[in-house]
Chain A
């Protein structure tokens, strides 16, 4: 069965590489990108690629993209929320709030919109465990290059974006194992022991 794949920021880089991979496997692929020149180049190289010029963090624009997809496709099998920006590389005191908000808008709001607005028909909604959702490194920053994905379970989105937001506060430390291995449960370093759910009495 032909897979129908939607990828944000698919005009270049990782997004385009994924698009090319799915196209090579016979899938139908639609991509968005904020860079029209990149989209034009991708479209020239891959005439079968469906391209939308769109900011992944713009709710109205994403609605329009998905509405167009809904009219041309009768199903959606894979959503890849790949759009992401690194944000300013600077000491925190030199990062402006606008830059910070822009980074979060693209990396988190973009992933939320790509997933939550996915145009599922009623049949797909009942069978949403079969929808593949993949978030790129922009959402999951705990390791330099990782992707987070799989079949969409009941709490898939909570679990993924919930965890995904944490590493933003210190992407290189929060989820990497500390030297010396795991902190023993019950110690003051054990986050699980300190959570309200585990506080007794």
Chain B
């Protein structure tokens, strides 16, 4: 994600911090998702606790309210 933000900031001519803050402002929980958050979801999907979950898109994004273009 850091590399994606660095590239996009360079392409848009703004600082990485500003871009990162802009993304965080679009999220209800106002924070970035960590790799551990994604790993936790993957472990849940592979566990018996999700035995009847199939073909679902699981958003682990702190609830995206809006998208910047």
Pairwise interchain contact A5-B46, C-beta atoms closer than 8 A: yes
Pairwise interchain contact B45-A18, C-beta atoms closer than 8 A: no
Q: B7 to chain A: closest CB distance in Å?
A: 4
- Report, as a range, how many residues of chain A touch the other chain: 35 or more
C-alpha spacing A176/B36, complex, angstroms: 24
Pairwise interchain contact A146-B67, C-beta atoms closer than 8 A: no
> CB within 8 Å of B: which of A139-181?
140, 142-153, 156, 159-160, 163, 172-173, 176
C-alpha spacing A117/B34, complex, angstroms: 30
Interface size, chain B (Cβ < 8 Å): 35
C-alpha spacing A77/B54, complex, angstroms: 15
* From B4, B10, B43, B59, contact of A143 by CB (8 A): B59
> CB within 8 Å of B: which of A1-54?
3, 5, 13-14, 16-18, 20-22, 25
User: Which 9 residue pairs of A and B lie closest in terms of their CB atoms, listed nearest first?
Assistant: A17-B35, A21-B39, A150-B54, A150-B53, A17-B39, A132-B46, A149-B45, A18-B39, A89-B7
